[in-house]
């Protein structure tokens, strides 16, 4: 496996040139654009990695998988999916237009910004601090780490430049679809996006979902098999922004990307995969990550469809 991953990284290393690091959160613009790494947690043989496996980045939207898993476990499917839909969207992840146009103004799925903000608001903790502690605890349990810390510089940078997410949240409140202290919920959202990981952490997170909710590193049952299946399904349909359909055809496995450059993927019953590469395509997906996953899926016949 290690040899295969080294070849995959070698072949895809240059693809970063076709993308750009995110700049709308100023701190993200400082990321090393050419970092390229991949890790696989194979459920039968454990961890292998290649390339920049020590490179750290913030989870950004990959964290939405964590808060969704937590909300489904704490509140149940019925409550979560009466507040947010489960359908993919052909608009950008932070689109305001679609939310306003489609009555009843419910976010289309839990993996776009508006949906993730609503999911956070459902968690049964009132204060941002407690909500965030529960999300970072879930991130630690899914990645098999003792703790996953917030990158304070990225958190402050997003908090200071988040007019669009604020607009989404206040619009949702105005139509009665977001309850609670809006600034407090947004604070927890910015913090969860700033959780810092490596591609190895994302491989374990993916493997936890691939193993029906049991973390293969710690042996802990983190979520139920049903929650793991629902999360994988939402990843498969909505995880790669408005590129989810193309990703399903070209790679064919449940995955979630984030604008920090990470992608976590889960191949049911087989493996979790984590990639990093901060240069993004126009939709917000890591170009190196896409290239590596395409290649790996081809080599190992990972497609689930
Ligand atoms: N924190 C980012 C935002 O809210 C997350 C976006 C992403 O990774 O898709 O814009």
236-261: pLDDT as tens digits: 999 999 999 999 999 999 999 999 99
Domain range for residue 42? Answer: 2-60+195-299
Q: Do 244 and 285 touch, CB atoms closer than 8 A?
A: no
262, 153: one domain: no
Does any domain span residue 305?
no
pTM of the model: 0.96
Residue 136 — very low, low, confident or very high, per pLDDT cuts 50/70/90?
very high
Q: What is the C-alpha to C-alpha distance for residues 188 and 214, in angstroms, rounded to an integer? A: 26
pLDDT at residue 303 tops 80: yes
26, 54: one domain: yes
Mean pLDDT of the chain: 95
**Catalytic position from the list 95, 121, 189, 287:** 189
163, 239: one domain: no
Query: Does the CB atom of residue 41 touch ligand 1 within 6 A?
Result: no
**Catalytic position from the list 61, 95, 114, 121:** 61
Average pLDDT, integer, range 282-303:
97
Q: Residue 166: what pLDDT?
A: 96
Q: Residue 128: what pLDDT?
A: 83
146, 222: one domain: no
pLDDT at residue 262 tops 90: yes
134, 230: one domain: no
188, 202: one domain: no
Domain boundary among 163, 193, 223: 193
Q: Residue 100: what pLDDT?
A: 85
74, 185: one domain: yes
User: What CATH number does residue 120 fall under?
Assistant: 3.40.710.10
Tokens of 159: 């908090």
156, 212: one domain: no
Q: Do 42 and 59 touch, CB atoms closer than 8 A?
A: no
Q: Which of 56-60, 72-76, 102-106 has the lowest mean pLDDT?
A: 102-106
Residues 160-182: pLDDT tens digits?
Answer: 999 999 999 999 999 999 999 99
Q: Which of 86-100, 110-124, 130-144, 205-219 has the lowest mean pLDDT?
A: 86-100
Domain boundary among 193, 220, 244: 193
Does any domain span residue 104?
yes
Query: Does the CB atom of residue 258 touch ligand 1 within 6 A?
Result: yes
Tokens of 271: 């493996």
Look up 157 and say whether it is catalytic.
no
pLDDT at residue 283 tops 80: yes
How many angstroms is it from 60 CA to the middle of ligand 1?
A: 5
How many angstroms is it from 172 CA to the middle of ligand 1?
A: 17
Look up 67 and say whether it is catalytic.
no
Query: Does the CB atom of residue 193 touch ligand 1 within 6 A?
Result: yes
Residue indicated by tokens 């991130």: 139
Using a 10 angstrom Cβ sphere, with 0-12 exposed, 13-18 middle and 19 or more buried, the burial of residue 78 is exposed
Q: Give the list of residues 6+ apart from residue 7 with CB closer than 8 angstroms, or none.
A: none
Does any domain span residue 287?
yes
Q: Please tell me whether the peptide bond between 255 and the residue prior to it is cis, using omega within 30 degrees of 0.
A: no
110, 215: one domain: no
pLDDT at residue 93 tops 90: no
Q: Residue 302: what pLDDT?
A: 97
187, 205: one domain: no
Does any domain span residue 304?
no
Average pLDDT, integer, range 219-223:
98
Total domain count, the chain: 2
Cross-strand partners of 280: 20, 286
Domain boundary among 167, 193, 219: 193
170, 26: one domain: no
CA distance to 110, 200, 221, 300, per residue, from 75 (Å): 14, 29, 18, 37
Query: Does the CB atom of residue 192 touch ligand 1 within 6 A?
Result: no
How many angstroms is it from 21 CA to the middle of ligand 1?
A: 13
């Amino acid at each position: 496996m290690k040899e295969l991953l080294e070849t995959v990284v070698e072949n895809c290393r240059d693809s970063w040139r076709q993308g750009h690091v995110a700049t709308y959160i100023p701190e993200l613009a400082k990321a090393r654009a050419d970092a390229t790494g991949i890790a696989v947690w194979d459920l039968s043989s454990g961890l292998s990695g290649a390339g920049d496996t020590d490179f750290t980045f913030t989870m950004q939207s990959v964290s939405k998988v964590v808060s969704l898993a937590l909300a489904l476990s704490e509140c149940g499917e019925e409550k979560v999916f009466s507040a947010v839909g489960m359908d993919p969207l052909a608009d950008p992840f932070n689109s305001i237009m679609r939310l306003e146009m489609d009555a009843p103004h419910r976010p289309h799925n839990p993996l776009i910004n508006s949906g993730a903000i609503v999911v956070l608001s459902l968690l049964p903790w009132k204060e941002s601090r407690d909500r965030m502690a529960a999300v970072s605890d879930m991130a630690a349990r899914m990645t098999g780490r003792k703790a996953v810390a917030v990158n304070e510089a990225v958190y402050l940078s997003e908090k200071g430049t988040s007019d669009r997410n604020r607009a989404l949240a206040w619009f949702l409140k105005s139509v009665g679809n977001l309850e609670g202290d809006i600034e407090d919920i947004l604070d927890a959202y910015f913090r969860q996006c700033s959780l810092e990981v490596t591609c190895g952490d994302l491989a374990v997170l993916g493997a936890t979902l691939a193993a029906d909710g049991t973390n293969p590193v710690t042996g802990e049952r983190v979520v139920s098999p049903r929650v793991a299946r629902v999360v994988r399904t939402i990843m498969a349909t909505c995880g790669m922004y408005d590129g989810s359909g193309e990703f399903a055809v070209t790679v064919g496995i449940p995955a979630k990307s984030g604008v920090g450059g990470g992608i976590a993927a889960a191949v049911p019953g087989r493996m979790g995969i984590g990639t990093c590469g901060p240069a993004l395509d126009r939709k917000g997906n890591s170009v190196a990550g896409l290239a590596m996953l395409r290649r790996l899926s081809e080599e190992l016949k990972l497609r689930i469809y």
